[in-house]
Structure 1
Amino acid sequence: MKKIALQLGCLVLLISSCSNKQNTTIPGYIEEPHSFSKPNEAVITHLDLDINVDFDKEIIQGKASYSIKNNKASQIILDSKFLTIESVQADGKDTSFSLSDFDEQLGNALKIDINKDTKHITVFYKTSQETEALQWLKPQQTADKTHPFLFTQGQAILTRTWIPIQDSPQIRITYNAKVQVPSDLMAVMSAENPKVKTPDGHYYFKMAQPISPYLIALAVGDIEYKAISNRTGIYAEKSMVEKAHYEFSDMENMVASAEALYGKYAWEQFDVIVLPPSFPFGGMENPRLTFATPTVIAGDKSLTSLIAHELAHSWSGNLVTNATWDDFWLNEGFTVYFEMRIMEVLYGKDRANMLARIGRQDLEEEIEGFKDTPDDTKLKLNLKGRNPDDGMNSIAYDKGYLFLRTLEETAGREKFDDFLKNYFQKHAFSTINTEKFVRFLNENLLEKHDIAFNTEEWIYKAGIPDNQAIITSNKFETVEKTIQQFVKNNAVDKTLTKDWTTQEWVHFVRNFPNDIKTEHLIMIDEAFNLTNSKNSYIAMVWYEQAINHNYHGNNVDTKIEDFLIKVGRRWYVSTIYKAFKRNDKTDVALAIYNKARSNYHSVTANTIDDLLGFK
């Protein structure tokens, strides 16, 4: 008995020791397939970046210094891709390092030798011509055509191509930066930013709140700032400032509306920089400074839901972040839901429902595209061995939104709003995976209010469950009747379209009958001059239909080519290239792409390369 008691006592002491160790060292990180880092052994906590931006050589060169939390490790691993690592220091002294074999998706593991007491590391490095996050633009590729421009795009795993870093979304760090640029240019980052140029081209930045590495962002160009309110404003090239300021003049109202819904804005400043048209996304939610495409400047504020979307990311994505890219829907589904709520407050339920209805149509098209790979229609993905960009589609955005809207309609808006506000507060400045979210949902909404809901089916099964919320729009029903009337009467009545929003026009164009005749397309184009639309969204869907229906009137072929050469927004150009491919016109697409590709950021180019089989 004494022997057994002694053994039990030792076991208790061992368990206690293990428990104490777990509580006094690095908290557990989830193993994920898109980073070489092993943060449970040693993890970065703060970055001091000191770099020079060289437009002549088109490289960034300098050093990245990190404070680290060290679990008595002999090595810390960073992610690096297409970087030249010149030397490394640990606590101020040179140390040895090595790079693993190159992986096409992930790059190299940068393995740095440290000791159990190491608290700081510094990596001296420079970028290369292959660096995927950076796009260097010649003056002629900018709006003002007088100075070069540089911007970064880190999502999903591209920050490692311009900074050696532990490039996983579950790792959150603060950062300071010193950036040297040519004296006639201004640098801005996802941090506290200058409002005017410095005389010597030296800029200093501070991000006091911990963020995931994909949100570290830099832009350099001949830009100016114009405030909208004391916490919102616009950066843009000189010729774009006034247009952007007018287009985004509701930004302060958006922030106030968002705060009224789900709690205080946590980042002090919400600014937007309008980038050159090669920017690959509509917007990127870099904290304090959203990066935006000029394609949303329509002159009538009709495309500003994109700004509401990026603002919503200040809560879902930046404040509460997906732990891995398999959980990307937690960033985007929540953000689309929040976006729709902001739009409803500012512009009414009709506008919000039209946006949601378009998203529902996008989702249907996406699901059809995944008919041979239905697992890709699940919210929770398995992207091991794949580029996380593969999960950045309408499933995460629009199925995620539909799941949350269905939850809201099931629980009731008041209960659901209380749940979401609690969710953001409880998980602020942390990361979360799908399984943890499901537990929180069960405990704080479903079980709490005795609500039955098919959560597992929505998240872990392919397709759309039968209990989905039905999104309707009376305005869209009117649009559909208008199409039928134009075709039936062989005539256009412009009074029926007089007060249409962009969303109504998009629905109009996207819902032409499959057998619409060329004469009807000519009639519609002559009436509304859609081929020459200044609204990029309307132009994009019209060009898709022109390709689908073999329409060549009004010099539309030239306009399509010009659009694809000028615009680098991935969604827009991929929609048009897909239309070419779908209609057996890949040769036409490739001829245009050969002219356009050099204007695209790598994010867009990689997608179109795969789509068209370009080599």
Structure 2
Amino acid sequence: MKVKKKYFLLGIVTVISLLLIALVIATFLLNKFGLSYADSLTLSKVNSLNNEEIKNYNHQLQYSYDVLHYNLNVELFDKEKKIKGETKLTLVPKDNFSGKVILNFKENFDILKFNVNNKNSNYEFHNDKLSFNIPKEEKQKLDTIEVTIEYIGKPENLGFGSFVFDKVNNQSVIYTLNEPIYASTWFPCNDIPFDKVLTDIYITNDSSKVSVSNGKLISEKIKGDKKTYHWKTVYPIATYLITIYSADYKYFNQQYISNFTDTTNIDYYVLEPELEKAKIDFSIHPEAMKIFSDIFGEYPFINEKYGVAEFTWNLGAIEHQTITGLGKDFISGRKFFTSMLVHELAHQWWGNAVTPKTWKDIWLNEGFATYSEALYFEKLSGSKSLQSTMVSFKNNFGSSTLYNPENLFSRAVYNKGAWVLHMLRKEVEDSTFFRILNTYYSNFKYKNASTEDFIKTTEQISNRDFQKFFKQWVYEGAGKIELEYSYDVEKIDKGFEVFLEVEQIQNYYSSYHFSLDVKIEFTDKTTEYKTIFIDSRNKTAKFVFAKNVKTIYLDPENWLAADIIMKN
């Protein structure tokens, strides 16, 4: 009995120790990524990717051609958790085309047919690359190359859930989530963000299932116990945004009327348990679309649709072009997750219409969509909502650079990215800032943009040099500014002389350069504002006032990505 008691007590201590360790890890992950420990297990797989691995995912020869169109025909077999697919690609060789075409495609599929320009062709299939050669005598004659690949197999479930066969109440739910480099887990493709295409997507499943994809629904055809949905895009789309969903969906919709009186459907596909709650939560979309269209420019996919489809991914949501995927746990019936819905809607402008050239530029997606949340709440409730939203982002900031980040989906990419736009807005003032956004959107809509493209647009519209600003906030600086300040007030003949001492104490970056707003409160309860420019780690500013000073505040309206402490 004593031995058993000893081991029992040892077991209790071990369990408690493990729980404490899990709590510490969970707290760290919540602070760093805004995620629970369980959610982080999936995220860590994606965050383990670095840009070198992403670069190696694509062979240099994949940059020697452009895909114009994918015709995807996917039949789903839920019981076997496999698919049968046919992908037809139309591609155009560039001037540097060598005659060899390389596609991304996972090797766990069996190739049933491989045709090039309607002829059987030899191919190589290894290291998750599918390649073939165009004979020299044909290479010079071809304007386009047509490739048809039939295949069958079980898709790998990588990343956030690149191809998922799931169950809800014993009913199948099937969906895809390609970001960042997982489209090749279910169809052969040139999986590079800047190779945008048009698509025709055919999804075949049991006739009881509703199947959804990007673009506009063209047809539904029943054959026996199977039903095929045909979806078509008329606007370019990046491979990571291509998706399919198939489940026992219940459908309802709303409409958005554009500034030019065009009407587009807002289509919702949800599972029955969430139907009534979704009708409440999703009702914000028409107004949100109007707000963003007024701020950025008209909704970019007006001739297709916008939509939301429920899936079982519990990390949040994903901005698939024209059909956002939303985790079932984020349908509350109380509008608890409006910011998430607004964020994904904003991606239709930032990420989908204007797509980053490389994954190094991902802040142009996530930072812009995150700041769009703040703009939405500002439009609804005024400047106080803008400030409170930005403060919430600052409290969960991370310590990474924005360009080529260590983790593609860290909170720095989202929240720091939003703060860069917020600070830029203060630098150029509202009218110029929104002209920058309008111009950037207009110039790169349905195309790809880089960080340098955004900087050039900023400088062009503002007629100012912003190299230092973006160097310190996007390319080099990590984390945020940390300031300590103190002040002394001395009585002089003409009033009161104030010496304000400001010191940067952050470890991640030696010295930021920035404008700093100063609010002075006087003993007679009046206030005055000054702006000083900080260009060194330590700065002293001198003011003279006729009245005595009660207290001084720095950055009183929260325009600066800084933690500020007043010394005693």
In the superposition, the TM-score normalised over structure 2's length comes to 0.68
State the shift of 1:82 in Å: 4.2
Structure 1 counterpart SS, 2:88 = strand
Q: Does 1:214 align with 2:240?
A: yes
Aligned position for 1:240: 274
Structure 1 counterpart SS, 2:233 = strand
Structure 2 counterpart SS, 1:69 = strand
Structure 2 counterpart SS, 1:247 = helix
Aligned position for 1:64: 87
Contact 1:296 1:303 in 2 (8 A): yes
User: Which has more radius of gyration?
Assistant: 2
Aligned position for 2:414: 397
Q: In 2, Cα distance between the equivalents of 1:156 and 1:37?
A: 18
The residue identity in structure 2 corresponding to 1:190 is N
Contact 2:219 2:231 in 1 (8 A): no
Q: Does 1:438 align with 2:465?
A: no
Q: In 2, Cα distance between the equivalents of 1:280 and 1:240?
A: 14
Aligned position for 1:548: none
Counterparts of 1:104-119 in structure 2 under 5 Å? 108-115=128-135, 116=139, 117=142, 119=145
State the shift of 1:232 in Å: 1.6
Q: Does 1:318 align with 2:344?
A: no
Structure 1 counterpart SS, 2:187 = coil
Q: Does 1:253 align with 2:279?
A: no
In the alignment, which of 286, 290, 293 is matched to residue 324 of structure 2? Answer: 290
Q: In 2, Cα distance between the equivalents of 1:417 and 1:442?
A: 13
The residue identity in structure 2 corresponding to 1:88 is F
Q: In 1, Cα distance between the equivalents of 2:375 and 2:235?
A: 26
Q: In 2, Cα distance between the equivalents of 1:180 and 1:56?
A: 14
Aligned position for 1:84: 109
CA gap of 1:304–1:49, structure 2 versus 1, over 3 A, is same
The residue identity in structure 2 corresponding to 1:401 is A
Greater Cα offset, 74-83 or 44-53: 74-83
Identity within the alignment, %: 22
Contact 2:459 2:465 in 1 (8 A): no
The residue identity in structure 2 corresponding to 1:220 is S
State the shift of 1:428 in Å: 0.8
Contact 2:212 2:245 in 1 (8 A): yes
Aligned position for 1:596: none
The residue identity in structure 2 corresponding to 1:67 is T
CA gap of 1:391–1:41, structure 2 versus 1, over 3 A, is same
Structure 1 counterpart SS, 2:80 = coil
Aligned position for 2:39: none
Q: Does 1:51 align with 2:103?
A: no
CA gap of 1:176–1:470, structure 2 versus 1, over 3 A, is farther
CA gap of 1:406–1:345, structure 2 versus 1, over 3 A, is same
Q: Does 1:419 align with 2:444?
A: no
Contact 1:82 1:128 in 2 (8 A): no
Structure 1 counterpart SS, 2:190 = coil
The residue identity in structure 1 corresponding to 2:343 is H
State the shift of 1:88 in Å: 1.6
Q: In 2, Cα distance between the equivalents of 1:195 and 1:206?
A: 10
Q: In 2, Cα distance between the equivalents of 1:467 and 1:196?
A: 59
Aligned position for 1:353: 387
Task: Flag structure 2 segments of 5+ consecutive residues without an equivalent.
Answer: 1-53, 256-263, 482-511, 518-568
Aligned position for 1:271: 307
Q: Does 1:149 align with 2:173?
A: yes
Structure 2 counterpart SS, 1:259 = helix
State the shift of 1:441 in Å: 2.4
Greater strand share, structure number: 2
In the alignment, which of 181, 188, 191 is matched to residue 205 of structure 2? Answer: 181
Q: In 2, Cα distance between the equivalents of 1:54 and 1:167?
A: 25
CA gap of 1:196–1:352, structure 2 versus 1, over 3 A, is farther
Q: Does 1:74 align with 2:99?
A: yes
Q: In 2, Cα distance between the equivalents of 1:470 and 1:300?
A: 39
The residue identity in structure 2 corresponding to 1:57 is E
Structure 2 counterpart SS, 1:250 = helix
Counterparts of 1:360-399 in structure 2 under 5 Å? 360-363=394-397, 366-367=398-399, 377-381=400-404, 390-399=407-416
Counterparts of 1:444-463 in structure 2 under 5 Å? 444-445=461-462, 448-449=463-464, 454-463=469-478
Q: In 1, Cα distance between the equivalents of 2:339 and 2:179?
A: 21
Structure 1 counterpart SS, 2:307 = strand
Aligned position for 2:40: none
Q: In 2, Cα distance between the equivalents of 1:452 and 1:171?
A: 29
Aligned position for 2:498: none
State the shift of 1:32 in Å: 4.3
Q: In 2, Cα distance between the equivalents of 1:34 and 1:314?
A: 26
Q: Does 1:406 align with 2:423?
A: yes
State the shift of 1:350 in Å: 3.5
Task: Flag structure 1 segments of 5+ consecutive residues without an equivalent.
Answer: 1-30, 103-107, 368-376, 384-389, 472-615
Contact 1:37 1:109 in 2 (8 A): no
Q: In 2, Cα distance between the equivalents of 1:244 and 1:194?
A: 25
State the shift of 1:449 in Å: 4.8
Contact 1:284 1:292 in 2 (8 A): yes
State the shift of 1:382 in Å: 6.4
The CA RMSD measured in Å over matched residues stands at 2.5
Query: How many residues align structurally?
Result: 409
Contact 2:207 2:227 in 1 (8 A): yes
In the alignment, which of 339, 342, 345 is matched to residue 373 of structure 2? Answer: 339
State the shift of 1:130 in Å: 2.9
State the shift of 1:120 in Å: 0.5
State the shift of 1:453 in Å: 5.4
State the shift of 1:160 in Å: 0.8
Aligned position for 1:228: 254
Q: Deviations over 1:117-140 (max 9, x none)?
A: 2521112223425343111113xx
Structure 2 counterpart SS, 1:180 = strand
Q: In 2, Cα distance between the equivalents of 1:452 and 1:164?
A: 40
Q: Does 1:203 align with 2:203?
A: no
State the shift of 1:413 in Å: 1.1
State the shift of 1:300 in Å: 2.1
State the shift of 1:455 in Å: 1.8
Contact 1:95 1:114 in 2 (8 A): no
State the shift of 1:59 in Å: 1.0
Q: In 1, Cα distance between the equivalents of 2:377 and 2:295?
A: 12
Q: In 1, Cα distance between the equivalents of 2:452 and 2:209?
A: 46
State the shift of 1:191 in Å: 2.0
Q: Deviations over 1:169-220 (max 9, x none)?
A: 1110110012110111110012213799968411111011111100001111
CA gap of 1:409–1:34, structure 2 versus 1, over 3 A, is farther
Q: In 1, Cα distance between the equivalents of 2:283 and 2:513?
A: 39
Structure 1 counterpart SS, 2:348 = coil
Contact 2:289 2:345 in 1 (8 A): yes
The residue identity in structure 1 corresponding to 2:380 is L
Greater helix share, structure number: 1
Contact 2:367 2:415 in 1 (8 A): yes
State the shift of 1:362 in Å: 1.3
Q: In 1, Cα distance between the equivalents of 2:207 and 2:125?
A: 36
Q: In 1, Cα distance between the equivalents of 2:366 and 2:447?
A: 16
State the shift of 1:110 in Å: 1.4
Structure 1 counterpart SS, 2:402 = coil
State the shift of 1:444 in Å: 2.7
Aligned position for 1:126: 152
Q: In 2, Cα distance between the equivalents of 1:331 and 1:470?
A: 28
State the shift of 1:146 in Å: 4.2
In the superposition, the TM-score normalised over structure 1's length comes to 0.63
Aligned position for 1:518: none
Aligned position for 1:193: 217
The residue identity in structure 1 corresponding to 2:195 is I
